[in-house]
């Protein structure tokens, strides 16, 4: 049984070895001519206005996590939509409960003010 996985392990090993080899070859043979322009911070073609060590508000991370949570829920809805006709009424009820729970959570974070940007 494990013998059938040998080609996969071999391919993964070759990929890792190739990545390490190319990284080290770049370090050994690549040019090293750092200038102030090359080592400066790049922000979409604009000069940096503040330091990179600036602290972000906790609100920023909270909204980012909420976006990810609600965005990932769409991933669960896509297979349901594809197989909607095969699932019948039971599938519709299950998805209705799922969306209802999502809406309750959305309403909760809205009422708590988690979506208000100060």
Cβ atoms 59, 117 nearer than 8 A: yes
CA atoms within 13 A on the CB side of 24: 6
> Rounded CA gap, 64 and 13, in Å?
36
Q: Any idea which architecture 2-111 has in CATH? A: Up-down Bundle (1.20)
pLDDT band at 13 (very low <50, low <70, confident <90, very high): very high
Q: Which pTM was predicted?
A: 0.49
pLDDT tens, residue by residue, 75-96: 888 888 899 899 999 999 999 9
Could you state, in order of their start, the residue ranges of all structural domains in the chain? Answer: 2-111
pLDDT in tens, 97-117: 999 998 898 898 889 888 787
pLDDT band at 48 (very low <50, low <70, confident <90, very high): low
For the chain, the residue count is 118
């Amino acid at each position: 049984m494990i013998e059938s996985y040998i080609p996969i392990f071999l391919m993964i090993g070759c990929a890792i070895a190739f990545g390490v080899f190319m990284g080290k070859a770049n370090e050994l043979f690549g040019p090293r001519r750092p200038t102030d322009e090359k080592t400066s911070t790049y922000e979409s073609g604009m000069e940096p206005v503040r330091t990179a060590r600036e602290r972000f508000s906790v609100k920023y991370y909270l909204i980012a996590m909420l976006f990810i949570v609600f965005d990932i829920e769409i991933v669960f809805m896509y297979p349901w939509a594809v197989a909607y006709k095969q699932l019948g009424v039971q599938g519709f009820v299950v998805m209705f409960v799922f969306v209802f729970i999502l809406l309750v959570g959305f309403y909760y974070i809205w009422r708590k003010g988690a979506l208000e940007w100060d």
